[in-house]
Structure 1
Amino acid sequence: MNSLQPTAPDSSRLKIAVVGGGLGGLTLASVLQHAYKIKCTVFELDDTVDSRNQGGSLDLHFDSGQLALKKAGLLDQFRKHARYQGQDHILTDMTGKVLMQHVGRKRSTGGRFDRPEIDRTVLRQMLIDSLDEDTIQWGKKVIKIEEESKDKNNGNHRHTITFQDGRNETFDLVVGADGAWSKIRKFVSEVTPIYGGVSFIEGLLPNVDNGHPKLSKLVGNGSFWALQNNKGLLCQRSGDGSVRVSAAFRIEENGLSHLDFSNPEIPRKYLMDLFSDWDNSLKALIEESSTFIPRGIYMLPADYTWKSHPGVTLIGDAAHLMTPFAGEGANMAMLDGAKLAAAISKIMNKGKDLATTIDNFERKMHNTVTGLATESTKNMDLMISENGPQEVLKMFRILRWLSPVIKLFS
């Protein structure tokens, strides 16, 4: 075949770089390999798989995260690790009064409320293990990306990535799956994440059943929210026996920079003062936490888009960073990966135009996530408000007729 013909090259010739080994990038690589027999290379900043903590637990939605795993051939494996009891949910006010209790179903039921929990570390390892051994290159920090050439016959653009180790490599398609502060996003857009007005200080209760039995009973099997007066204690049980405690509150950007987090007693005292008028049973979540990590909540504008650039695209937080108050970020990143893999297969195996196909993918992705990003910000403003418990109860009253296992006590 004449290489100058305006048709897409076959899978052995189209060279794909996935920048970022998070859930979105790994899902893309896994679906490409499993469903379409297409190779790519994932470049991950971390030196090893366990270089840093991957976070706690997340709920994987039936029509997004689970659907992506199905495309990767990993759904049965996911169900072996899924914690359906992790869907349990308790809501209280600052006095500790229980206002709502949701008991999750103990098995897969399908549909909107099938959202079992899984630890991020376990899910990430599942995806890594599904890949060919040479797919991931570890310790590869991207310094810059430059347009290398443009094929006048088919409109395709090639781009060269330069890494911190001094090496560079040229690709037909570069996918930015590199998170909130994406280097690849800077190539297609000048927009950067904005601070949402809320920060977390995340504590940890390890071995909660044995080391903190009262708090274990308080939190329950899944999520526990105590809300009021523009603050919240948001707790989540992980499969490793720990509970993450996120103290949420409204504060100016960088308002925690004066605290020395290397000494846990300093942020502990800060939080005990901040939550001084809360019930002792709730303040114990702070008193007994072993470590504290500050986390500012950032987001991209809900309607954020960029002018499609042939040969480069974005998925996950790089494309649509949102607050964590709708539980959609990881699910959408995985769905992005699965849908982009399907788009790439049309380019590789059906001769579809790369630029047009990627543009169509991006438009559909934007249409999917815009409403969810808006909902996420709205939920944050409802939860971290003066009347947070009452606002959340309104949401659950709407959901109650859909899920009779939700019990309201106020």
Structure 2
Amino acid sequence: MSTTPAPRIAVIGAGPGGLTCARILQKHGITATVYDRDTGPDARDQGGTLDLHADNGQIALREAGLLGEFFRLARHEGQEMRQMDRAGTILFHHIPEQDERFKPEIDRGRLRDLLLNSLQPGTVRWDHTLQTISGPAAGPRQLHFTNGTTIECDLVIGADGAWSKVRRALSQVTPRYSGVSFLETWFHDVSIQHRDIAELVGPGSAAAADGDRGLFAQRNSGDHIRVYIIQRVPADWITAGGLTPQDTSGIRAHLLEHYRDWSPRLRKLITDNDGLYVDRPIFALPVPHTWEHNPTVTLIGDAAHLMPPLGVGVNLAMLDACELALAVAHHNTVDQAIRAYESTMLPRSTETAQLLDGAADDLLSAELPDFATTDHH
């Protein structure tokens, strides 16, 4: 970027993609500011665990200079995977090799802290919810935040997830409901309070499905297990059934009826949870999702290509972040950098999205899925 003044770069969203992008830009001596709607780094639970793959997420961490630290924090045993039928019989069991490093697990919160702590102080501006983007397509752009702040920048990077506000500057498309919904629930202190479940799930993850219903359980650090109850239901199934999200006993009774022919051992994943159920309907962007090139705005991760949760989302977001940051570092103008980045990102994400189009249904399949050995989120 030596031939022109350094561009003013705004990254919207302090998730793994946005933070990875800012970190790699900083490693190349380029300043970027990240704006996030959360009031601070600990404003909310960051979600469960994820596996970072050698062929995408780990590439980004290597470029960010954080791969060694990631391997120290990661749970390599989390790569273990059990696939069961509804009777609880194990049909498939992957036990990782001692030195297997293809896709170790890390809690989202730990990954977020690793990335946050690698950034220069003050990089992330909390409590900044983007409202609108104005200014000519050629730039500079003005970002208007709900707290009354307005900032001017030369490059806007939308790393703001499924319901991206930045996307609206490029595309009128919105995510559509997949027909499949997750209900997330938690188990704490499992080695003492939930020994049966700890044994059933093991050190990694365990899944079961019968074609209409599924369960996916995943070990997190700190002796926690998260379970996702997977159903093919209307997006508003809780309220349509006369229930509220807070009505834990009502939802539990409904689920027990829905899973009545499953084994008692697996039904404990539905009934013995600590706390509420959290409704997570699965949305995806239409395939392919592309847009007219814009010289000052681009997207990474779910903002660009929201797909069903089958193990690629965070990995692709981090690879996008890495490639965009390197493009900015290696091109003379923001416009050239965006063109170079999108020329590889859009075909890659379209190809992956086509593979996963409708794949939310695979989460319910009684057949052993292809991703039993490769992807399992």
The two structures have a TM-score, normalised by structure 1, of 0.87
SS in 1 for 2:62: helix
1:176 aligned onto 2:161: no
What letter corresponds to residue 16 of structure 2 in structure 1? L
Match of 1:246 in 2: 228
Within 5 Å, give how 1:4-403 maps onto structure 2.
9-11=4-6, 14-34=7-27, 36-109=28-101, 114-147=102-135, 149=136, 156-257=138-239, 258-290=242-274, 291-325=276-310, 327-347=311-331, 351=332, 353-384=333-364, 388-392=365-369
Contact residue 196 and residue 299 of structure 1 kept, 8 A: yes
SS in 1 for 2:366: helix
| Partner Cα separation in structure 1 for residue 42 and residue 323 of structure 2 | 28
What letter corresponds to residue 18 of structure 1 in structure 2? V
Contact residue 8 and residue 354 of structure 1 kept, 8 A: no
Q: Which runs of 5+ in 2 are unaligned?
A: none
Q: Offset of 1:95 from its aligned partner?
A: 1.1
| Partner Cα separation in structure 1 for residue 2 and residue 296 of structure 2 | 15
| Partner Cα separation in structure 2 for residue 382 and residue 70 of structure 1 | 32
Q: Offset of 1:395 from its aligned partner?
A: 6.2
Contact residue 88 and residue 263 of structure 2 kept, 8 A: yes
| Partner Cα separation in structure 2 for residue 391 and residue 85 of structure 1 | 22
Q: Offset of 1:7 from its aligned partner?
A: 8.8
Contact residue 143 and residue 150 of structure 2 kept, 8 A: yes
Q: Which moved more, 1:368-377 or 1:115-124?
A: 368-377
Q: Offset of 1:262 from its aligned partner?
A: 2.0
Q: Which runs of 4+ in 1 moved over 6 A?
A: none
Q: Offset of 1:220 from its aligned partner?
A: 0.7
Q: Which runs of 5+ in 1 are unaligned?
A: 1-5, 151-155, 403-410
Q: Offset of 1:178 from its aligned partner?
A: 0.5
| Partner Cα separation in structure 2 for residue 197 and residue 248 of structure 1 | 11
| Partner Cα separation in structure 2 for residue 265 and residue 39 of structure 1 | 51
| Partner Cα separation in structure 2 for residue 395 and residue 118 of structure 1 | 19
What letter corresponds to residue 343 of structure 1 in structure 2? A
| Partner Cα separation in structure 2 for residue 395 and residue 344 of structure 1 | 34
Give the structure with higher Rg (CA).
1
What letter corresponds to residue 270 of structure 1 in structure 2? H
| Partner Cα separation in structure 2 for residue 359 and residue 283 of structure 1 | 51
Alignment CA distance shift 1:395-1:99 (3 Å): same
What letter corresponds to residue 320 of structure 2 in structure 1? D
Q: Offset of 1:73 from its aligned partner?
A: 0.6
Q: How big is each residue's C-alpha offset from its partner over 1:140-177, in whole Å with a ceiling of 9 and x where there is no partner?
A: 01111012x47xxxxx4211001111110110001111
What letter corresponds to residue 329 of structure 1 in structure 2? G
Matched residue pairs, number? Answer: 371
Q: Offset of 1:391 from its aligned partner?
A: 4.3
| Partner Cα separation in structure 2 for residue 232 and residue 279 of structure 1 | 13
The two structures have a TM-score, normalised by structure 2, of 0.94
Q: How big is each residue's C-alpha offset from its partner over 1:65-124, in whole Å with a ceiling of 9 and x where there is no partner?
A: 111011111011001111111000001111111111000123245xxxx10100000000
SS in 1 for 2:226: strand
